[in-house]
Amino acid sequence: MIRNILFDWSGTLVDDLPAVWEATNHVLSRAGVPQLTLERFRQEFCLPFARFYERYTPQVPMAQLEEWFHGRFRQLQDSVAPLPHAREFLLFCRGRGVRTFVLSTVRREYFFQQSARAGFAPFFDRPYVE
């Protein structure tokens, strides 16, 4: 019997791809690097994201990249939306007494804002986020 489920956040319960892609292209543009198509972004992006940026913007300090990214992402994060059937699955888990957790590299502030907006906050026993 399954008693606990551990979810990732991005791409599992919510779709943040458009916001992450746009914020990343903002960073690349600020760094003087050509922007990526969505297809190319999907092929190239990786975690830890420092490896990704090292390939594209080795000349820019990580602190500057993060400032650019988060400055833009904060403007876009209201576009992060629940993925189809995520709420229904969380309700299914709750109805069967299955505990649910989130383990993600998403920033704590983003997670709590996004989960509240999606109506997911009450479903998680505990989020493990940055």
pLDDT of residue 96: 97
- Cis peptide, bond prior to residue 48, ω within 30 of zero: yes
**Cβ-count burial of 17 within 10 angstroms (0-12 exposed, 13-18 middle, 19+ buried)?**
middle
Q: pLDDT at residue 119 above 90?
A: yes
pLDDT of residue 48: 86
What distance lies between CA 87 and its chain's CA centroid? 17
Q: What is the pLDDT of residue 47?
A: 86
What is the per-residue pLDDT across 40-68, written as a single tens digit (0 to 9) for each? 999 999 988 899 999 999 999 999 999 99
What's the CA gap between 61 and 56, in Å, rounded?
Answer: 12
Whole-model pTM?
A: 0.91
Residues ≥6 apart with Cβ < 8 Å to 51: none
